[in-house]
Amino acid sequence: MTAQAQQAAPVAVSVEALAKRFTMHLQGGIELPVVENVTFSVAKGECVVLGGPSGAGKSSVMKMLYGNYAAGGGAILVRHHGEMVDLVSADPRQVIAMRRDTIGYVSQFLRTVPRVSALDLVAEPLIARGTDSEEARERARVLMARLNVPERLWSLPPATFSGGEQQRINIARGFITDHPVLLLDEPTASLDALNREIVMAMIAEKKAAGVAQIGIFHDADVRDAVADRIIDMRQFAAAAA
Ligand SMILES: Nc1ncnc2c1ncn2[C@@H]1O[C@H](COP(=O)(O)OP(=O)(O)OP(=O)(O)O)[C@@H](O)[C@H]1O
């Protein structure tokens, strides 16, 4: 997306003065400051990458963006059904609705469900959003084929799949819906070069469709190919209490 187009595109996510510190209750309540004053926004169709060295707080910010970690302060405004809703102060039911309709998430590791086939795991987020189950399965087949998941695996539960196969199931699950915001936590970490290229193309297609994406990518080639902007988390390092 060009700089001009980005300026015109509406903001999908606005992070304002977000903070996180951990309290280690088993270690006498030691406070571990991680980030403070994290402030950035992401427009529709933009891919913003969280950068900075190991321990800078990228994953912690990502988990707050999905509502998995409570924030220690600040706001995460997300355009949800046309209105900017603060995920930090949203009640649990609102968070669930935002995840169903607005915020998609591709985590690094697949959470497998006993006895649920790969095909059904991939189709499930679409079915949850009201798509007919046969249509959802057909779209799941198309995506799994594109990601080179061997057809003999589709009917099996992915618990025994290889790391890269599980990651591709996870990617298919995250990309199958049309969530307007997509969080990508190291989606290419266990992939070979061919499948990495495919995922990069899928990220580009999401951008073209106006999806706002926020990602963590340790692979510099992938990062440089997909990022419209890289946000260095070091600037938000929290001071010790
Ligand atoms: N659940 C937790 N409890 C306590 N401390 C945590 C927790 N999660 C993260 N931290 C600490 O917060 C800091 C930031 O971790 P985080 O995983 O967010 O960094 P990162 O930038 O994603 O690192 P990496 O690139 O290595 O994944 C680290 O010092 C880590 O030990």
Query: How do residues 46-92 score in pLDDT, each as one tens digit?
Result: 999 999 999 999 999 999 999 999 999 999 999 999 999 999 999 99
How many Å lie between the centroid of ligand 1 and the Cα of residue 56?
7
The answer as to whether 143 is a domain residue is no
With a 6 A CB cut-off, is 22 part of the ligand 1 pocket?
A: yes
> What's the CA gap between 53 and 91, in Å, rounded?
33
**pLDDT (0 to 100) of residue 215:** 97
- Kindly state whether residue 155 falls inside one of the protein's structural domains: no
Q: For the full predicted model, state whether its pTM sits above 0.90.
A: yes
- 3-state secondary structure at position 211: coil
DSSP code of 153? G
Dist. CA 23–CA 32, nearest whole Å: 6
- Say if the ipTM goes beyond 0.90: yes
For residue 117, is it within any domain? no
What's the sign of the alpha-carbon dihedral 217, 76, 211, 146? positive
Substitution site in 20, 21, 22, 38 for ligand 1 pocket (most atoms within 8 Å of beta carbon): 22
Ligand 1 atom closest to the Cα of residue 63 is: 18
- Quote the DSSP letter at residue 234: G
199 C-beta neighbours (distance < 10 Å), count = 22
With a 6 A CB cut-off, is 63 part of the ligand 1 pocket?
no
Report yes or no on 168 lying in a domain: no
Residue 78 sits in which domain range?
11-110+179-236
Residues 158 and 165: beta-carbon distance below 8 Å:
yes
Q: Is residue 123 part of a domain?
A: no
What CATH number has the domain bearing residue 102? 3.40.50.300
Which carries the bigger pLDDT value, residue 75 or residue 30?
75
Instruction: Identify whether 92 is part of a domain.
Output: yes
Strand, coil or helix: 110: coil
pLDDT of res. 118:
96
Closest CA to 136 of 93, 162, 173: 173
Residue nearest to atom 2 of ligand 1 (CA): 22
Please name the residue whose Cα sits nearest to atom 13 of ligand 1: 55
Classify residue 227: in a domain, yes or no.
yes
Atom of ligand 1 nearest to the CA of 60: 18
Q: Say how many residues make up the chain.
A: 241
Provide the number of structural domains found in the chain.
Answer: 1
Residue 159 lies in a domain: no
| Residues 114-150: tens digit of each pLDDT | 889 999 999 999 999 999 999 999 999 999 999 999 9
* Phi, psi angle pair for 39, to nearest 5°: -140, 115
